Amino acid sequence: MNFDEYQRYFEDILENTEKYEVYHNDAEYLNYTKLNWSRMNRWLKKFEPSEEMKACIQRIKDEQHWILITEPWCGDAAHSVAQIYNIVKDNPFIDLDIQLRDTEPFLIDEYLTNGGKSIPKLIIRNDVGHDKIVWGPRPLALQTIFDEMKADGKPFPEIKEAIQRWYNDDKGEEIQKELQAALAE
């Protein structure tokens, strides 16, 4: 789906929860989704790519297919999906395709992180369908913090809070640096 379709899907979950079994039957998933709707919309309004990132994206003149695997319940995705969309939305050579992790064709199975289905996952393919870049599920600096907290046995609510604080403090700088470096290769 394109980004507008993803937003409509996301909104439909919140307005018609009974249609979506996982959200209807699991209050925690629904609560995450409500929080993530707010977070995503805040980034859509406030996040502006850096001049360096804009220039990097403007240099792309060959057709690229950017596949973003995500789900509305994912806290990391609430930040990254909106930022990636704002980064690429004005380049007509970039086709942003959002795919759901938990819906067929289960593309995530080809892009596991340490054996897990961590999202969001961004795959950048060239015009003939070859993967050029695979990024995710979060910026490397944050992944390191996550891995350390998990190894130290920190409770998941504490980890989630640290992750959200990191995203708010970072303001999308690391994802831009990582994408610029990857696109420069």
What does 21-78 look like in DSSP terms, one character per residue? Answer: HHHHH-HHHHHHHHHHHHHHHHHHHH----HHHHHHHHT--S-EEEEEEE-TT-HHHH
Q: Supply the pLDDT for residue 184.
A: 93
- The residues spanned by each domain of the chain are 3-184
53-79 average pLDDT score:
96
Q: Supply the pLDDT for residue 31.
A: 93
Q: Three-class SS of residue 121? A: strand
Q: Mean pLDDT, the chain, as a whole number?
A: 96
Which pLDDT band holds residue 69 (cuts at 50, 70, 90)?
Answer: very high
141-165 average pLDDT score:
96
CA distances from 149 to 3, 38, 140, 157, 162 (A): 32, 26, 14, 11, 9
Distance CA(175)–CA(132), nearest Å, equals: 17
CATH of 3-184, one of 3.40.50.1010, 3.90.580.10, 3.40.1410.10, 3.40.30.10: 3.40.30.10
Distance CA(60)–CA(42), nearest Å, equals: 27
Q: Supply the pLDDT for residue 127.
A: 86
CB 124 within 8 A of CB 185: no
CB 81 within 8 A of CB 120: yes
Q: Who contacts 54 (Cβ-Cβ below 8 Å, separation ≥6)?
A: none
Residue-wise pLDDT tens digits, 19-31: 998 888 889 989 9
Give per-residue burial for 12-25: e unless 16+ CB within 10 Å, then b.
ebeeebeebeebee
Q: What pTM did the predictor assign?
A: 0.94
Residue-wise pLDDT tens digits, 114-143: 999 999 999 999 889 899 999 999 999 999
CB 80 within 8 A of CB 38: no
